[in-house]
Each structure stands twice: as structure tokens, then as C-alpha cells.
Structure 1
Amino acid sequence: MVYSLGYRRPERVQRPSSSDSISGASKQKSIDASIHSYSSGMSHGIPEALSFDRIISGGTCPPCTTRDFMNYLKYIELAAENLQFHLWFRSYCKRFDDLPETEKALSPVWYQEHAEAETPNLRKKTVDPVAAAIFKGTDFASDPTVSEVSKEKNPFFTPPGTPNEDIKRDAGESLDSYEANLSAGGKAAHAQRAVNAFEDAGLKWKPLTVQPYREEVTRIISIYIADGGARQLNLSSKERNKLLHALQNTTHPSAFHDVANTVEWSLRCQAHPNFIRWTICNGNLPRVVFARGLGIAGIVGGFIAALLITLSSAGRAWRVISIIGFLIGISTLIAAWKGMCVVLHGMHHRHLRPWELFTSDDEPTSFDAKGDSIDTLASQDSNNSYEDEPWVAKYEKRNLIRKVFDREVWIQEPALRQIQDTIFLQAILGALVLSFIIVGIFCAVPRGGFF
């Protein structure tokens, strides 16, 4: 079974020159359009079975899984931090929604109007009734934020401007399971980067409050938002400052709304179509170039055969033999021009990617229930640079012939095989039409009779 013969693979989507070039409303509109665009079964060359949501939710098979998408962003697009942040944010929203109402009330919803209001007035406007009931009769009754009196009573309170010393002081105390997994040096480094981020934005540092997940948010600021972060997102200064202003007051997921939309828009409307376009290619670059060479050789062979028969004294019917070379050469060239090798496609195989060739069997390749990869969670402080990974040097040492005939693996994803079948059929039909036209022209020419 194949798709429509008019099928076209996804177009290559270029990154916008500036993240400010597209407004937030336009990004949200594009995201909504992407979500609802699969009602007809196909959207911009991407079937519903390979939609962004299906890939992220784990409903696809190799080579179209979340892991494959992550590897593509890391090694090809060089933008893995977008998917890493998106997976973390999905997990964070779920965990925040699962909190008791008493804890969620400590972090009120962040609205856009809050960014334009003064902070003291903002606090008065955003007092939650549930929070007010919780703090009734305490020092927090008038304002569910840390008061001057509570600063002296709270042993975990960290005064502004001295995060490093106090975190080192409290390093031996287990605040919660999340902080228990961080060393004192790690906490100090994250806190210092968060301090610098807030100071650069002209905001006041609020390192630790009674709000849920405040320490985790501090770490996320250090990794994804602060300058020099291990996985710094490509945000405009306006988006960055708005996010820090929001996180200064609350840890509610709504504080990440604009940044989360920017990241999701980049993934849905730019990275995902490019990933599907790239995945359709079943061979590596040397194999595709080799296939193109074979296609050109087949076409040249067909021309030579047709020309020799035409110049000879043989009858016109013999010139039809040249159609074999034209058919094989043109179909191979059309398929190779779209990144496919017809030999590999005949077996529904694909080449292993360079980073897959040298992967050991004991490396974690699955994703946990929170949506992030096991190894990503274990090394969330690491950056996405891969130049020092062992496979880079090993792959460069492989000779060209070995790269052309690299190891192959069966394509498990049915929707991807269906796309490749469609492209292969298009190549055959296109080759048939062109071959008949070329051979017809040769048949119309009088024989030469030179030999």
C-alpha cells in the first residue's frame, strides 16, 4: 500500500533569522494548526502516524522514535536542548498538576498582566484564597511570600547575594530527594549562574522559598536560561527577561508559557519536518552519492546503446533494448536524488547512522515515564557537544568503500516504509515515461547503416 502518487516529502524548513521575527500569537497559531492539521491523514508530506505528538508520546518505531529525534537534533540540527527542555517541561507540568492543592496554592498562576505591574501590587492581586486560608493566623497572613520575621525562623532561607556560602553550609542537610542528588559544588554552581541571570536582567535574586520545585527551577535557570548554561536555549533578551521576571514570583508552569511556546514552535514547525525528511533517506551520504553515480552510468549506457544501434544497419525494433539502461538509470537517479538507495529499499533496509555503529548494547536507549531519556536525566548538567565522543574518530577512520557498504538494519516503522514505497513507485513511473520518450525519439531517427 502506498500514498497518493502526488505525494511530496516535507520541504526543508530554514530557521528564522531571529526569534523575535515571529510573534507569540503567530507561534501559538502555528502550534494549534500543527496539532489539528492531521485530520485528513497527511500534513505537508507527513502522515498522522509520524506526527510530532505521536513521536513524542512513544507511538512510533525505529528509526522514528523519540530517541532517534533526539539524536537527529544533537548530531544534525545541533539543537537538542529544545527537545530536552520540552520533555522536561512536559514532565514538570504533570508533576505540578499532581501536587496537593495546598502546595499548588503557594505558586499562583502567572498572567501576562503581571509582567507589567509592580511587584508589591502584584502580590496583593495574586493572593490565592486557598493560600490565604493556609496562612491565616501566621506571619504570612497578609502576603503568602517570605516575610522578614520568617527569614529568621526558616533555617533553609538563603539571603539575597550570598547563595554560595549558605548552600555550602546546608549541603549536608537533605532538603528533599532532588537536592540530595546534587553535590554542594553542583548546587553552588547552579545558584551562582541563576544569580548572574537575575542580575543581568535587573531583577532581585530569590533563591529559596516555600514554593514547590523552587530548587529544581533554579537548576533549570542555570542549565537552560542563564548565559553560559550547559544547554542554553536560543532565546531573545525579551523572552529571557520575561521568563526570569515570572520565575522571580512563582514556580507555576504558566511562568514558562512564552518560552515553552517558542521551543515547541521550533520543534513542531521546523525540526520535526526536517527530521522526517532526513529519516526518509535510507542510505548514508557516500551510499547516496554512489547510487547517483550508478543512475548516471545507467543513463549513459542507455544512450550509448541507443546511439550505436541507430548508427548501425539493425532494424528500429532493436533500439528498444536501450530502454533497459534508461529505466534502471533514471529510476535509480530519481530515488537517489530524494536520498534513497533502491537496493536498500528492495529489502526495506537502511544504513545505521554513524553514532549507532559504535553503540554498545548496554547503553540505555529507552525513555522513562517522565518523558526524558534515562541517560539524559543522569547527566543533565552535560552539554550537547559530541566532538569528543568515541564514534567520531572511529567513523572518520573508515575507508570510503566500507562507508558505502556499511551495516544495515530493517526499517520497523510501517509509515516510513509506506512513504519510501511511494517514492520508489514515483521513481519507476517517472523513469518509464522518460524512457519511452527518449527511446521513441531514437526510433524515429532513420538508421545510419554505417556498420
Structure 2
Amino acid sequence: MVYNISYRRPSRVSSRASLSGAEKQRSINESIISGSSGMSHGIPDALSFDRIIAGGVCPPCTVREFMNYLKYIELAAENLQFFLWFRDYSKRFANLPESEKVLSPEWNGEAPDAENQHRPARLNPDTAAVFKGTDFASEPKVTEAEKGSNPFFTPPRTPNSEAQRDGESFDSYDATMSLGAKTNHTQRATGAFESAGLKWKPCSHCSFSPVSVQPYREEITRIISIYIADGGARQLNLSSKERTALLHALQNTTHPSAFRDVMSTVEWSLRCQAHPNFIRWTICNGNRPRVIFARGLGIGGIVGGLIAAILITLSSAPRAYRVLSMIGFMIGMSTLIAAWKGMCVVLHGMHHRHLRPWELFASDDEPSGYDMKSDSYDSLASTNSGNSFEDEPWVAKYEKRNLIRKVFDREVWIKEPALRQIQDTIFLQAILGALVFSIIVAGVFCAFPNGNFF
């Protein structure tokens, strides 16, 4: 089964950073609508962005391959890493109890008034438990008379150790973080706020985060140091305006709505730019040396057909024999058309593809951040490392590989049916194009009289 014979693979999409936030959101909505309507810009619904992110596709179109493409080809893996983190973060925040959600109100673009930030005189038990151990805790006022009449009275305990303060102010998410790592992330986050002209004031009990009672405050500090701060391991490509607005929002709340504008930029980059480019790249079933080799074979086939047509025309053989030159034209032109679109017809005949360079030398251990069972990615795994891959072992090994081995590298079967259909369609287009070309060229040679030279 193939798609429409007039099918065209996705066009290469370049970055358009000048678009406004409203235009990007409109493009996102159009992408979602058109992606669910069957075919959008050469991308079938089976390979839509949402389906890939949801894990509804087979190799080589999964989130893992998408991440590898962004890391090794587009050099923009931080967008997908941040997108996956935010999706997971939004789910976790939505599942929090209401007593914790109220500590981080939804961000509407303005900081809450100072007069509305006072703490109520009496707190319900759940909220009181959250505030316990912080400056916001509501301690009962005890008179001197009550102290004297109660021999068992013990004054409120003040945290007196670094370990106690950490245990009371940080949630379980940070239990695995070392003190040095916390300090490093906080220093980086503090620098980000200061460079934006904002203040990052720690609370009296905790030297690491400002409003420590807000849920996931320490996690947000880490995210700022990794994705937002200048020099972060995975710094996002944000404008100065977007970055300052985001830091201003995170200065007041950890609610997911604080990331609203930034997520529009990140999602637009993934949906409208990276995703079409990824599908276009995935259609290619051979590596660059193999595709160049296939183009050479295609040109050789056409040249062979021309030589055969010329020799038969110059001979005394009947004109009907000149049709035999179509064999060379067909083979050469179909191979050349397919190779021009990144496909090798030999590999396509078996529905195979070459392994990517980073797949050839992959170890048995899963890459950091990947979960084999769910095929999901942990965006906060190995956060001290960036997305640079120049020092990865496979780079030097692949460079030492000779050209012949690269042309005939290891192959693997393509599991995704929709991708095979696209390749079948391109192959059929190549055959039809070669047939038309062969008929025209052979017809031209048939029009010449016999040369009778031999």
C-alpha cells in the first residue's frame, strides 16, 4: 500500500525566530488540527508529533530516535528534554493536594500584592503541616502565666543544624542531591536572576531557595540553572524578553503557568521545525556514503544506457533493438531519483536501513536518562552534563572506519509501517519518473536512421 502518487516528503524547515508569541501559538494549533486530519505537509497522522511523544510509533521514529536526531543532527536536544520535563512536571503538580497547590498560585503576569501576602491567623491542619519548620509556621502565643502554670512547657524549637534545615525545607525530590550539587544549582540560578535585574532572596531558615514552602521549589532552582541561566548545561535558545519574563514569574510561583510563554516557543520549535525535519531525515534509509554511492550507480546506469543507444544507432541493427537501452535508463534514473531523496533502492527492497553512527558502537547499557520499559526520557538525569557529543567514543571510532565499510554498514529492519509506506511511495515515484525519462530518450534515438558503420 502506498500514499497518493503526488506525495511529497516534508520540506526542510529553517528557524523563524522573528515570529511573535501569538503567531507561534497559531502555528501550534494549526499543526495539531492538520496533524489529526490524515496528512500534514507530507507527514501522515501515524507519524504526527503527538503520536511520537505518546509512544505510539515503532523504530526508527520513536522518542529515542527523535532525541538522538536533535542531539546529533540538529544540535538542539534541550528543547525536547525541556518539553518532556515540563509535561511530567505539569502532571505531578496537578496531582498535588490542594493544601500544597495554594502555596503556588497560577501566574497571570503580575506578582501578588504585598498586602495580600500576609499569612492568615489560623491555618487548617494540612496547611499547617506544610508550613511546619519555616518562618511561616503559626506558633501559638503563650503568656508568662501559662508558662508558669505548665511545668511541661517547652519553648518552640529553632532549627540549629544544617541537616535539620535541609530536611524541613526541601521535599523528597532532592533527597538524592548532595549539598555541593544544591549549592552549585542555586548559585547558577542566583546569577540568572541577578543578570535579569531581579532579586533572589533566600528565607531565614534556608540558604538555598527563597520561598521554600512552595512545592518543587528546589526542582525549579535546578531547572533554572540547567535550562535558563547563561552558561547552563542545556541552555534554551530564548530571547532576553522571554528569559526575563520567565524568571520574574518563577520568582513568585512554581505553578506550571509560569512557563506558558516559554513553552509556546519550545513547542513551536519542536512541532513546526524539528518534527518535519526529523521525518524528512528518517525517510533516508542509507548513510551519506551509501547515498553518494547510489547516486554514482544511478549516473553510471544512465551513461550505460546512452552508450548502448548510441552504439545500436550507429550500427546496422533494426531500430527495435534501440529499445533495449531503456533497461540502463530505467535502472539508472530510478536509482538516481531515489538517491536524490536519500534512499537506496537496494536497502528499500528489503525494507532495511543503515544503523546510525551512534547506534553502531552503542553499549549494552541504556543511555543515561532512558527507561527501557516505558521508552521515556528523564530530562533531569545527568544534569551536570550537556548535550555535547564530541567526546563520545563512537565519534573517533566512526572516523577511523574506512569508506567501504561505511558504504556497506550494518543494516536493521524498519519496523514502522507508515515510514515503509512513505518509502514505497517514493520508490514508485522513482520508477514512474524513470519510465517516462526512458521512453522519451529511447524514442529520440529511435527517430534517427541507422548509421550502418558496423
**Which bin holds the TM-score, normalised by the shorter protein?**
0.7 to 0.9
Taking the aligned partners of 1:409 and 1:370, their CA distance within structure 2 comes to 22
Please state how far the C-alpha of 1:178 moved relative to its aligned partner.
1.8
Structure 1 residue corresponding to 2:355, chosen from 352, 355, 379: 352
1:245 equivalent in structure 2: 248
Aligned residues of 1:102 and 1:134 also touching (Cα < 8 A): no
CA contact (8 A) 1:88 1:371 kept: no
Q: CA deviation at 1:15?
A: 1.3
CA RMSD of aligned residues (A): 2.8
Q: 1:98 corresponds to which residue?
A: 95
Deviations 1:336-393 (A, max 9, x none): 000000000000000000000001223258547998525x543122100000000000
User: 1:89 matched to which residue of 2?
Assistant: 86
> Could you tell me whether the CA contact under 8 Å between 1:282 and 1:344 is conserved in 2?
yes
Q: Structure 1 CA distance, aligned partners of 2:331 and 2:387?
A: 43
Q: Give 1:51's aligned residue.
A: 48
CA offsets 1:16-36 (integer angstroms, 9 cap, x no match): 2xx3x1111111111111111
Structure 2 match to 1:408: 411
**In structure 2, C-alpha distance between the alignment counterparts of 1:8 and 1:279, rounded to whole Å:** 14
Other structure's SS at 1:249 match: coil
Which residue does 1:161 correspond to in 2? none
Tell me, which stretches of 5 or more residues in structure 2 are unaligned?
Answer: 129-133, 140-155, 202-208
Alignment correspondent of 1:296 = 299
Bigger Rg, which one: 2
| Contact 1:81-1:233 at 8 Å conserved across structures | yes
348 and 107 in structure 1: CA distance in 2 versus 1, 3 angstrom threshold: same
Corresponding position of 2:13: 13
What is the aligned length? 425
Q: Deviations over 1:223-252 (max 9, x none)?
A: 000011110000001000000000000000
Unaligned runs of 5+ in 1: 141-145, 158-165
TM-score (norm 2): 0.87
Report sequence identity in percent.
Answer: 72
1:153-302 aligned at under 5 Å gives the runs 175-206=170-201, 207-209=209-211, 210-302=213-305
Per-residue deviation, residues 48-71 of structure 1 (Å, max 9, x unmatched): 000000001111100000000000
Distance (Å, rounded) in 2 between the aligned partners of 1:156 and 1:335: 71
Change (3 A) 1:371 1:89: farther
For residues 260-303 of structure 1, give each alpha carbon's deviation from its aligned partner in whole angstroms, at most 9, with x where no partner exists.
Answer: 11100000000000000000000000000000000000000000
User: What SS does the corresponding residue of 1:265 show, helix, strand or coil?
Assistant: helix
User: What amino acid sits opposite 2:317 in the alignment?
Assistant: A
Q: Per-residue deviation at 1:40?
A: 3.0
Indicate conservation of the 8 Å contact 1:284/1:353, yes or no.
Answer: yes
Question: Does the 8 Å CA contact 1:168/1:188 hold for their aligned counterparts?
Answer: no
2:396 to 393, 397, 414: 393
1:77 match: 74
Alignment check: 8 A CA contact 1:107 1:250 kept: yes
2:338 is the alignment partner of 1:335 = yes
Secondary structure at the residue paired with 1:37? Answer: helix
Whole-Å Cα distance in 2 between the matches of residues 133 and 317 of structure 1?
A: 102
- In 1: Cα distance, 2:55 partner to 2:375 partner: 9
The question of whether the paired residues in 1 share the 8 Å contact of 2:63 and 2:376 is answered with: no
Q: Which amino acid is 1:3 matched to?
A: Y
CA deviation after TM superposition for structure 1 residue 123, in Å: 6.7
Q: Could you tell me how far 1:441 is from its partner in structure 2? A: 0.5
1:350 is paired with a residue whose SS is strand
Q: Which residue of 1 aligns with 2:3?
A: 3
In 2, are the aligned partners of 1:291 and 1:341 still within 8 Å (CA)? yes
Q: Deviations over 1:394-443 (max 9, x none)?
A: 00000000000000000000000000000000000010011000000000
Query: Does residue 27 in structure 1 map to residue 30 in structure 2?
Result: no
How many Å separate the matches in 2 of 1:66 and 1:156? 46
Aligned pairs for 1:417-436 (under 5 A) are 417-436=420-439
Measured at CA, do residues 182 and 149 of structure 1 come closer, stay the same or move farther in structure 2, by a change above 3 Å? closer
SS in 1 for 2:275: helix
Evaluate the alpha carbon distance shift between residue 343 and residue 120 of structure 1 in structure 2; reply closer, same or farther with a 3 A threshold.
closer
1:225 and 1:156 map into 2 onto residues whose CA distance is 32
Question: Partners of 1:260 and 1:155 in 2: how far apart?
Answer: 41
Q: Which amino acid aligns with 2:351?
A: H
After TM superposition, give the deviation of residue 171 of structure 1 in Å.
6.0
CA distance in 1 between partners of 2:318 and 2:419 (Å): 46
Which of 367, 373, 377 pairs up with 1:373?
A: 377
How does the TM-score come out when normalised to structure 1? 0.88
Q: Is 1:40 matched up with 2:37?
A: yes
